Amino acid sequence: MKRIVGIVLLLLVGFVGYKVYRGFTGGNSKPSFASLPAEEQEKRRADAQKLVEQVEGIAKSAKSGQTKNFTLTANEDQFNTLIQDRLRTQNLPIENPQFKFTEDNVALEGQAKYNGFKVPVALSGKPSVKADGTLDFTVDSLTLSSLPAPSEWKDKAQNAIASGLPKAFGANPNVHFKTVEVQDGKMTVTGKTN
């Protein structure tokens, strides 16, 4: 009898753990870039390249001193292709990173090693534009297996993002952002170069 109760409790804990994990990942994570068919990979690379070219064009205009308004719209697939295909993700603390855009929120989900185990990790926050026209990102939460991560991890993530955002546009002081808007599946940034 004790053995049956133990097995039932183990199954119950496993089921609850699975449900928490599926709730955490949304149960509908998109497939990783590497698992896509070659034809789909090439299509996504071409689409992501358009985004890279737009960003490079904005940086070039700013560097040459041109005054130009811009609107840059990026979708989740473009971000995920760039991070999964172009970055050496083996050097990142998060494996299988994946962006998700929801109303006014950007989330980065994946897996991290913690105390010898791979656990789901999620960072979420809100992008904004500072009064000086630079992009900012406030980390609202950082979780490991749906539990809050240590506060120093959240601080490290906040600092890494803050130092990395300017690099996207060549750290050029002639790029001034006006708005950033996040909707389901896409993010739009407007601004001006001068």
Per-residue pLDDT, averaged over 158-164, amounts to 82
Domain match, 75 and 165 both: yes
Regarding predicted confidence, which is higher, 14 or 127? Answer: 127
Same domain, yes or no: 53 and 132: yes
Average pLDDT, the chain: 81
Residue type present at position 149:
A
* Residue given tokens 């407007």 in the structure block: 190
Q: Are residues 4 and 96 located together in one domain of the fold?
A: no
Task: Tell whether 90 and 44 lie within a shared domain.
Answer: yes
Mean pLDDT of the region 115-141: 91
First to last CA, the chain: 77
Whether residues 132 and 176 fall in one domain: yes
Looking at the structure of the chain, the number of domains it has is 2
What gap in Å lies between CA 109 and CA 29, rounded to an integer? 9
The verdict on 18 and 109 lying in the same domain is no
Looking at the structure, tell me whether residues 15 and 109 fall in a common domain. Answer: no
Instruction: Output the pLDDT for position 90.
Output: 65
CA angle (104, 110, 112) in 5-degree steps: 130
Asked if 104 and 179 sit in the same domain, the reply is yes
- CA–CA separation, 150 and 175 (whole Å): 35
**Helices assigned H by DSSP within 26-106:** 38-63, 76-81
What proportion of the chain, given as a percentage, has pLDDT over 90? Answer: 44
Specify the pLDDT at position 43: 96
- 79/163: higher pLDDT: 79
User: Residue 162 has what pLDDT?
Assistant: 80
Whether residue 123 sits in one domain with residue 62: yes
pLDDT tens for residues 20-44? 444 444 444 678 888 999 999 999 9
More confident residue, 86 or 142: 142
Are the C-beta atoms of 71 and 188 separated by less than 8 Å? yes
Confidence (pLDDT) at 97: 87
Whether residue 173 sits in one domain with residue 84: yes
Which pLDDT score, from 0 to 100, does residue 83 have? 86
The boundaries of the domain holding residue 1 are 1-29
Give per-residue pLDDT as tens, 50-93: 999 998 999 899 989 999 999 999 999 998 998 888 876 666 67
